[in-house]
Amino acid sequence: MEPLTGEFRTAKGWRILIYIGSPPLIALFVYVGFLPFIRDEFSIVAALLLIPISLGMITLFVYGMIETIKGRFIIANKSVSNKDALGTMTLEFKEIKGFRTDSNYIHIISNTKEKKSIRISTYMEKSNLIMEWLTNNFVELDGQEAMEEEKQILASDEFGINEQSREYRLNEARRVAKYINIIGGCTGVWLWFHPSPYLISVSIGITLPLIALGSLVVYRGLIRFDEKKNSPYPSIIYGFIAPTGALIIRAVMDYEILSYKDLWITVGVFSILLTGLFLVITKEIKFSKILDYVTALSLAGMIFAYSFGTYVMSNCLFDTSEPEVFRTEVIDKEIDSGRSTIYYLKLDPWAPGMQQEKVSVTKNEYVAIEKGDSVDIYLKRGLLQTPWFYVVTE
């Protein structure tokens, strides 16, 4: 065991920031909590919302102050201890199984059920020295588990007739996953920010997530959907998410659906079937722990998002039906300035049973149209029988 002893606190810069920043923030949220009692215009709903937020944030910042003052990570001759606002936890060296790291914490894992693992912040002073000491004296569990998993892959008959063929198959799967993620990421950026030529960018955006899911079936068990740190199994998560997210943005920004009722039913049923098919064919998720259920729900949500984007884009972009034209009046104009600026026209009801409709238009169309002007509404049947429409301002 390499020698390293002493007490380690939160790094000095972070301590100064917390000491200076926390008191005014605590005072701010105390004031926010009292607002419903000192301002007559606050409703009961606002009070029920502000008071819990205020109490929660006050508790958070007070705890952070106490933690910064009292917090210590202590390395002794035969043990490590973590002292925080709630007490002190100690593990003897013989009780340490190993350690893991993430972006914010170092986790020192206990090898006994009687004692909990210790978690220390990476913002601790001399955290690099602590990491070096842990690396030299204990097992880095993520790396060890990755090595064990790779050994299991190379020893499994499921992935090839001998070790050489299994290794070749694994490397091939890694290359395929790498290309899917790179192309998927580039396609997502292309489709989101500059989808030109439009038909080609949308078609690739629809196709790539299917290729990503298809790779899971082709490399059954070797390529995974989710990403795990240091895992030998390659993942295609980014190749799926990037074009899917861009498809949703394009679907919402570029097309106006008359009614979403039937769309939600179709997309929901398709998503359930595709998720179930994926789980049965790939057998990637074992449902042996809570995280597996969370992963399955996340997968279902992403497949639902992809199905929605693909449905809307296919229904509208590839629709060749003849439009039915309606004329209506612009009753108001509106600009939504968020991460991107969106221009809206509020239209008088233009079909039986409709209410006022707010539709997005380009900046030039927004500037050219005045309140009280008339516009034409082109209503189309939709390739998938979901009616949609667009506005013609000239």
Q: State yes or no: pLDDT of 240 exceeds 90.
A: yes
The residues near 54 (Cβ < 8 Å, ≥ 6 apart) are 29, 30, 32, 33
Q: What is the DSSP letter of 321?
A: P
Any domain includes 145: no
Tell me how long the chain is.
394
Question: What total of structural domains would you count in the chain?
Answer: 3
**Do 184 and 307 reside in the same domain of the chain?**
yes
Distance CA 160, CA 187 (A): 33
State how far the Cα of 41 lies from the Cα of 38, in Å rounded to an integer: 9
The pLDDT of residue 4: 76
The pLDDT assigned to 44 comes to: 72
> Which structural domain, as residue segments, surrounds residue 388?
324-392
Q: Among 280, 297, 317, where does a domain finish?
A: 317
CA distances from 144 to 138, 141, 164, 235 (A): 11, 5, 22, 19
Give a yes or no: residue 363 inside a domain.
Answer: yes
Task: Dump pLDDT digits (tens) for 304-323.
Answer: 999 999 999 999 999 999 99
Window from 90-94, 232-236, 370-374 with minimum mean pLDDT: 370-374
CATH number where 383 lies: 2.40.50
d(C-alpha 256, C-alpha 7), whole Å = 62
Domain termination residue (choose one: 302, 317, 332): 317
Give the SS3 label for residue 355: coil
Task: Please indicate, yes or no, if residue 77 is contained in any of the structural domains.
Answer: yes
| pLDDT, greater one: 4 or 64 | 64
94 secondary structure, DSSP code: G
In a domain, 11, yes or no: yes
